[in-house]
Amino acid sequence: MLNFEILKETPFCLGTAQVNWVKETIENMTEEQKIGQIFCPINGEVEPEKIKEFIDEFHPGGVLYRPMPAETIQNCHRAFQDNSDIPMLLAANLESGGVGIASDGTYFSRPMGVAATGDKENAYRLGYISGKEAKAVGCNWSFAPICDLDKNYMNPIMNVRTYGDNVNTVTNFVKEQLRGLDENGVAAAAKHFPGDGVDFRDQHLVASVNSLSVEEYDASYGKIWKEVVDTGILSVMVGHILQPAYSKYFNPDLKDEEILPATLSKELLQGLLREKLGFNGVIVTDATPMVGFTASMARSEALPACIMAGCDMILFNKDIREDYQFIRDALKDGRLTRERLDEAVLRILAMKAAMKLPEKKAEGTLVPEISALSDVGCNEHKEWTAKCADEAVTLVKDTQNLLPISAEKYKKIRLYYIEDRVGGGFKDGDSQIAAFKDLLEKEGFEVSVYDYSKPDFYEMFEAGVSYAKDKFDLAIYVACIDTASNQSVRRIDWVHLMAADAPWFVDEIPTMFISVANPYHLVDVPMVKTFINAYTPTKEVCQQVVEKVMGRSSFKGKSPIDPFCNIWGSRF
């Protein structure tokens, strides 16, 4: 028997007409439609006819598109909503701005860059820009904000995606980001419960571990999640992350080898999230093709098991038809009960009702007119982006008193671009660091860029200090090793032959290191005496960095984490 009373409680708070819509909808759904509601697949189809075919076959409760041009995305979203009897959740990873759904959207800032400004208003603007540009293309569900703590500098997936390692900063900035999203009618799925950032591994590649004790967890992640739940947030995304202490707290008989990641853990979903933290909204898994999920048990078992454990919605598929069949099979043999399926569907429909999606569908306003696209990348958002960049750029150290620089003192600059040499991983936006050459040349410098495509073997094997001094007066390293999924490490990978691009000459030639992504590169270049963190590889950030190294603008940012990584010598 379904408990319709939960529809009147936080976070849904539905009125009588909304409750009736949920009741009538679920009573008239076929089992196939119910199965469809618990899935949120990823899609890339742009043809309306193909989208209609997809809906007719799968009846999905939601869908996510990777960023494409705003007009294309808006048309795709319109086709989904027009062809679906039940209004859909249209999702995006809105972690850093509208660029999370529209490739021509605003790349505002990585969250750590926002935290570096020390101003909660920038967190609100991150949510507002993301929400306004998402709304313009018909997107209504944000897989953000990120509630994790960056407690391990070796972690390759959290890093600049977080607001740092301070509990109060993360809590306050997350709440402001939520406020900005809410003002634009975009629901949030805060992530990644129970909390990422303790382990040094990526849950895309392995089920990672939050190894804190119950007491340590309560004072950190638990405090953040309680305040986030108390905002009335409609949904929470759960990671493929183990939390052994709380798993055993709720089930003392649990053996170590029986502990499961949160997406499959009744103890964490029902004990910690539902009961202790009081969350009554929709629980969505993180992407189920991640190895952290797929290697935890057979997929045919894991999909129904995650619903039985307490998840309401399954994010993404391997083979979508196979995944649906796994759910059908589990319903037939009782591994997934129809009562639990109905409960999951009930909460999903309640969320849609709380977002007023049925009313908007009736009005024809689920996806706005094309004129709304003027909000995407608008001038106001660009101005806010430049302001945030100015306030974020952080001077970590300048123990050689190099700054400010000028073309009179250092005419010839050798510029090294340290970037990913192997593709892969989903990132928020394109890097703009190539702009540094033009920006420096406009200041009167002669700039030569280290050419990775044509190694200078003479410089590599025979040349010495005098050769380098003849070539350049100042070396500037610009690193953009951006946080991305499915990476084991986010470290500098020098040219393997003789580490030819490494700063061996720091005691001979002044050297500066600028990171526009990973803030922890002092692990690999502790010897560099002038180090700047800028957090986000946008053109606005590049421009502000040059303004500051030239001495025309002060460094305003404060590190949200320890950029010295407790490495001996990195502060000198």
DSSP state of 405: P
Token pair 């119950």 is at which residue?
Answer: 214
DSSP state of 161: G
By CB atoms closer than 10 A (0-12, 13-18, 19+), residue 387 is: middle
Q: Is 65:40 a contact under the CB 8 Å cutoff?
A: no
Closest by Cα among 128, 84, 83 to 109: 128
DSSP state of 240: S
DSSP annotation string for 376-400: TT-HHHHHHHHHHHHHH-EEEEETT
Helix locations, 355-494, DSSP H? 357-363, 379-392, 435-442, 457-461, 465-471
Partnered with residue 235 across adjacent β-strands are 189, 282
Q: Is 239:193 a contact under the CB 8 Å cutoff?
A: yes
Known active-site residue 438: no
What tokens does 379 get? 């001038």
- Distance CA(183)–CA(76), nearest Å, equals 24
Q: Is 212:165 a contact under the CB 8 Å cutoff?
A: no
Closest by Cα among 38, 118, 42 to 388: 118
Token pair 């991305």 is at which residue?
Answer: 484
414 contacts: CB under 8 Å, gap ≥ 6: 448, 450, 471, 472, 474, 475, 476
Residue tagged active-site, from 286, 323, 473, 482: 286
Closest by Cα among 244, 164, 173 to 197: 164
Q: Is 471:508 a contact under the CB 8 Å cutoff?
A: no
- Distance CA(568)–CA(572), nearest Å, equals 9
Q: Is 429:93 a contact under the CB 8 Å cutoff?
A: no
C-alpha torsion sign, points 556, 513, 166, 172: positive
Instruction: Tell me the three state secondary structure of residue 488.
Output: coil
What tokens does 50 get? 């193909």
405 contacts: CB under 8 Å, gap ≥ 6: 474, 512, 549, 550, 551
Closest by Cα among 289, 282, 290 to 307: 282
DSSP state of 146: B
- Distance CA(113)–CA(565), nearest Å, equals 18
> Residues 135-168, buried b or exposed e (16+ Cβ, 10 A)?
bbbbbbbbbbbbbbbbbbbebbbbbbbbbbbbbe
Instruction: Tell me the three state secondary structure of residue 64.
Output: strand
Token pair 């995606």 is at which residue?
Answer: 161
Closest by Cα among 285, 287, 290 to 348: 285
What tokens does 68 get? 């494409």
Q: Which residues are catalytically annotated? A: 286
